[in-house]
Amino acid sequence: MSELKRPAPIPLDDAIMRLLAYAQPCLKAEAVSTFEADGRVLAQAVVSPLTVPPHDSSAMDGYAVRVADCAAPGVLLPVSQRIPAGQVGVPLAPGTAARIFTGAPVPEGADAVVMQEEAQALDPESGADVFGRVRINVAPASGCCIRRAGEDVRSGSVVLAAGQRLTPAALGLAASVGCAQLQVARRPRVALLSTGDELAMPGEIAPEAMPPGAIYNSNRFFLRALLRRQGCEVRDLGVTPDRYEATLAALREAAAHSDVIVTTGGVSVGEEDHIKAAVQALGTLELWSLAIKPGKPFAYGRIGAAHLCALPGNPVASFVTFLLLVRPFLLRLQGATQTAPCTMMVRAGSDGPRAGARREFLRARIGATGALELFLNQSSGVLSSVVWGEGLIDVPPNQPFKAGDMVRFIPFAPLLA
């Protein structure tokens, strides 16, 4: 791309569409233990080799009966057998009941299970062949408390699709069909690079010894955590000073060993901002300057085979652009098919600020009344707003909202999982 000279800011949806197109999945698949696959993206669908459950089974501890034998409450039946989970009974004789436990196969001939709370055992279970009697205190319907064979999974069905990001529940489902290993995309190798002469590290300089103009590097901490939550292997390259040659050297090193480079700071238009010029010197700059607030000076480019996502230096802008742009990019790079954030419509509890020409993302949380409360200070440097908040109100350009209006809310929790 030729040198960019203050282009018109790009709408967010256009930027996301272009980013996802650049993020062609290219990471090789690898087999990992199902125990260790949480958060990974499936590279190969899971097809069940069996039916789950494999047989009609009891959903309760109770008594398997024939509905025809229990037409009215109070029927007294002899207990002809006892069926624990993991064992198979014999066909149920007419006029009898079978003591049965949760998960045990329902015996042939039985068409209902009466839970033990709706029955009364009259005689102690006194031996291997003598099971006493039971009074059935209800008239059960056919199929009551029976889990049908295959009601969860049918043999030959796709239970987990390729491109699905694995959750704890998905791991359990994979295990239920016998998968000890899963084919998943390799973790992206990400180089994290901070820029700025003003940045100091906690533990290296005490708060009382901070020189004038210095700040602690908060972005480095939350970006490392966010990258790891997206399944990345993070190589932290520390802080690069605000000098062009140092920026070039750092980006060369990052590109040589990474799938993706994530930078923070140095991407605006000031004299001390060198990321944009260095990327153009080493590779190509495909996106720069978005029509959003916070986060306008986001950029995307390529250096050799490595992708580069350059985030703003202000911490809230860096946090928000990571969630809205870098997160879906990294998921698509791993082959994920679902990358869009979860959204909901929620009532605003107060008037919003004056709307501007850029799409704005306001930090908010749901209050006791169910309405959204706004953090008082929406500055892009106030990191406490994203700790206090539960998500972002998505405000379209030039569309202010009033108390009581329904607004689009993007909760943080699904984005941070």
β-pairing verdict for 233-240 and 284-288: unpaired
Identify the CATH assignment for 12-27+187-333 out of 3.40.30.10, 3.40.980.10, 3.30.200.20, 3.40.630.70. 3.40.980.10
Q: What pLDDT, on a 0 to 100 scale, did the predictor assign at position 81?
A: 96
Express each pLDDT in 244-258 by its tens digit. 999 999 999 999 999
- What residues does CATH 2.40.340.10 cover in the chain? 344-416
pLDDT at 194: 94
Looking at the chain, the domain(s) classified CATH 3.90.105.10 span 30-52+154-185
What pLDDT does residue 309 have?
A: 97
The pLDDT value given to residue 131:
77
User: Which residues of the chain fall below pLDDT 70?
Assistant: 1-6, 124-130, 269-272
pLDDT at 5: 54
pLDDT in tens, 99-126: 999 999 999 999 999 999 999 998 765 5
Superfamily of structural domain 30-52+154-185: Molybdopterin biosynthesis moea protein, domain 2 (3.90.105.10)
- Residue 1: the pLDDT is 41
Which pLDDT value is given to residue 360?
98
Fold of 57-147: Molybdopterin biosynthesis moeA protein; domain 3 (2.170.190)
**Per-residue pLDDT tens for 123-139?**
765 544 457 999 999 99
Q: Tokens 């292997």 sit at which residue?
A: 233
Tokens of 135: 């009074």
Cα 33 to Cα 179: distance, rounded to the nearest angstrom = 9
Architecture of domain 344-416: Beta Barrel (2.40)
